Amino acid sequence: MSTITTKDGTNLFYKDWGSKDGQPVLFSHGWPLSSDAWDAQMLYFGLQGYRVIAHDRRGHGRSDQPWNGNNMDQYADDLAELIEKLDLKDIVMIGHSTGGGEVAHYIGRHGSARVAKVVLVGAVPPLMLKTEANPEGVPMEVFDSIRAGTANNRSQFYYDLTLPFYGFNREGVTVNEGFRESFRLQGLAGGIKGQYDCIREFSEVDYTDDLKAIDKPTLIIHGDDDQIVPIKATAEKAAKLVKGSIFKVYEGGQHGLAQTQADKFNADVLGFIRG
């Protein structure tokens, strides 16, 4: 397996596929998943001649499971170390859900000198948590229930979570059991402590300043039926904060649209990259 060792001694697993001469497309996954969530994109863009890279966030997938350091500052620093280790330049950064926070915070914390374009899909920025200033957000009780589900029976909780995640709880939608089982397997490959800590990072961290720091062409994609990351609290606000961004709304789209609508998503992202 390909790994790098970060400055604090944590081993991070990553995939580096496709043409080494191709423009790098770097993927950041959502919670509680791993780089495997990007299978459909890694294959597609790799076959298009791009260099495709995806890592397992610390505490997730095949990376180390440290007790401490499971926070967005460290996630962004880990991403910076991977980018520098591989000497990636002219990068297309793509982040889903929590990974969207990771991409935004990387730019806010480390700048955009190595970045060409940004894609945020179902992403959590600017802020998921409901507050007086963010009434469209999600109440803290919901995140507390996610903590409880993760702590007490994450195998069943992750499996149940796939229903709203992929919109399989909507009338007339065909349930894809393969997606459900893959989600649970990816979640269980990670460590419970890192995943538990990460809940705070996707719910309570305010990424407003990070979004304002993005100074590269940006595509924001979000489903208007996203039951996990509400579009009104996140993408609609992010589109106003990232100057000159393109905002695409998938009608009836769910949180896992990069998998359930992979053909459409891949084509839209390819058009954006080439545009």
Question: Among residues 64, 77, 78, 226, which one is catalytic?
Answer: 226
**Cα 61 to Cα 96: distance, rounded to the nearest angstrom:** 16
- How far is C-alpha 218 from the chain's CA centre? 15
**What is the number of residues in the chain?**
275
226 classed as catalytic: yes
* Structural domains of the chain ordered from first start: 3-274 (3.40.50.1820)
pLDDT digits (tens, 9 = 90+) for 180-233: 999 999 999 999 999 999 999 999 999 999 999 999 999 999 999 999 999 999
pLDDT of residue 147: 98
pLDDT over 90, % of the chain: 100
255 classed as catalytic: yes
Phi/psi of residue 195, nearest 5 degrees: -70, -35
35 classed as catalytic: no
pLDDT digits (tens, 9 = 90+) for 136-179: 999 999 999 999 999 999 999 999 999 999 999 999 999 999 99
pLDDT digits (tens, 9 = 90+) for 245-266: 999 999 999 999 999 999 999 9
pLDDT digits (tens, 9 = 90+) for 228-247: 999 999 999 999 999 999 99
Phi/psi of residue 119, nearest 5 degrees: -125, 125
**Cα 244 to Cα 264: distance, rounded to the nearest angstrom:** 22
Contacts of 240 (CB under 8 A, 6+ apart): none
Contacts of 192 (CB under 8 A, 6+ apart): 150, 151, 154
- How far is C-alpha 214 from the chain's CA centre? 16
pLDDT digits (tens, 9 = 90+) for 67-109: 999 999 999 999 999 999 999 999 999 999 999 999 999 999 9
Helix axes 140-165, 192-203, angle to 10 degrees: 110
Q: Which two tokens stand for residue 143?
A: 């995140």
Question: Among residues 28, 97, 203, 245, which one is catalytic?
Answer: 97
pLDDT of residue 1: 86
- Please list the residues that pair with 26 across neighbouring strands: 53, 93
Residue whose structure tokens are 């979004």: 211
The reply to whether the predicted model has a pTM over 0.85 is yes
pLDDT of residue 265: 98
